[in-house]
């Protein structure tokens, strides 16, 4: 994670998968379900809507695996540039999120996420730590995809 600032939060990670695969993971419910929730939570595909176009909906339901408690997310896509960028506005937090994917040598991808208009609750250390577990789940899932493609 990069240092946060008053203007927003930034997260950067090198992912061991081609950029096109990472982009698909962020735009297809069948992939999102494997990582789009922090550790201890899940995001069922039957509760996801991904309308991949500017103005399209991006909605998920996060389920606490231990308690069954749910948290709905509602976003609107602002900009989409396959396979290098996604931006959306989160109605449930008021944040704008921009994900950029830069191709690196060796079929790796530089993932960068920038959140602006970040509410105080999202800045809490426990919530930032939770988001890092989401990125850990993404990394593990990508490794499974890449390993499966090479078998």
| pLDDT per position as a tens digit, 86-135 | 999 999 999 999 999 999 999 999 999 999 999 999 999 888 888 999 99
Cα Rg, the chain, nearest whole Å: 15
Q: Directed axis angle between helix 125-149 and helix 19-27, to 10°?
A: 120
Q: Is the pTM above the cut of 0.85?
A: yes
Domains of the chain: 8-36+81-149 (3.30.530.20)
Per-residue pLDDT of 82-93, as tens digits, reads: 999 999 999 999
DSSP type of residue 9: E
Total residue count of the chain as it appears in this document: 151
Give the confidence band of 151 by pLDDT, cuts at 50, 70, 90: low
């Amino acid at each position: 994670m990069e240092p946060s600032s008053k203007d927003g939060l930034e997260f950067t990670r090198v992912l061991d998968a081609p950029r096109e695969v990472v982009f698909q993971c962020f735009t297809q419910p069948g992939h999102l379900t494997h990582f789009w929730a922090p550790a201890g939570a899940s995001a069922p595909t039957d509760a996801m809507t991904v309308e991949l176009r500017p103005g399209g909906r991006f909605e998920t339901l996060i389920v606490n695996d231990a308690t069954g408690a749910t948290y709905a997310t509602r976003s609107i896509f602002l900009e989409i540039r396959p396979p290098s960028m996604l931006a959306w506005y989160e109605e449930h937090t008021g944040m704008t999120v921009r994900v950029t994917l830069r191709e690196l040598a060796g079929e790796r991808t530089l993932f960068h996420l920038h959140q602006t208009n970040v509410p105080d609750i999202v800045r809490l250390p426990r919530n930032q730590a939770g988001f890092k577990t989401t990125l850990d789940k993404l990394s593990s899932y990508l490794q499974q995809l890449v390993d499966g493609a090479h078998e």
